[in-house]
Amino acid sequence: AQSVAQPEDQVNVAEGNPLTVKCTYSVSGNPYLFWYVQYPNRGLQFLLKYITGDNLVKGSYGFEAEFNKSQTSFHLKKPSALVSDSALYFCAVRVPFSGGYNKLIFGAGTRLAVHP
């Protein structure tokens, strides 16, 4: 079955330290991968995507993600965390669906807490 997994419910990081939010996927073919962020009581905001090309993708707010095909992973990273990065992060993958359509599948989300 095609799926996305975010193995950590919560990640705690001290401000100024690097952060990593993990995502692994199980998809046939070449995946399209996405990261979204959700601040309290808000909708999801698009952060970045990987479709093809360079395995290191840069996105909004200083975030980047590394696509690793052999490990089927797409981890979100930031060199220096800010308290304002504290939010809920979702990984998503686009999978082929019947009729030539594509469907988005989301992971369960990881809550990032950055402490001063």
The residue ranges that bind another protein (CB under 8 A) are 32, 34, 36, 40-46, 49, 51, 88, 90, 92, 94, 97, 99, 101-109
* Token code pair at residue 11: 């990640």
Our CB check for another protein shows the closer of 100 and 116 to be 100
The whole-angstrom separation of Cα 14 and Cα 98 is 45
CB of 104 to another protein, least distance (A): 5
CB 50 within 8 A of CB 36: no
Our CB check for another protein shows the closer of 42 and 69 to be 42
CB of 46 to another protein, least distance (A): 6
In the three-class reduction of DSSP (H, G, I as helix; E, B as strand; rest coil), residue 38 is classed as: strand
CB of 101 to another protein, least distance (A): 6
CB 59 within 8 A of CB 74: no
- DSSP β-bridge partners for residue 11: 112
Residue with tokens 């402490």: 115
CB of 15 to another protein, least distance (A): 22
Our CB check for another protein shows the closer of 14 and 61 to be 61
Our CB check for another protein shows the closer of 46 and 55 to be 46
The whole-angstrom separation of Cα 20 and Cα 74 is 10
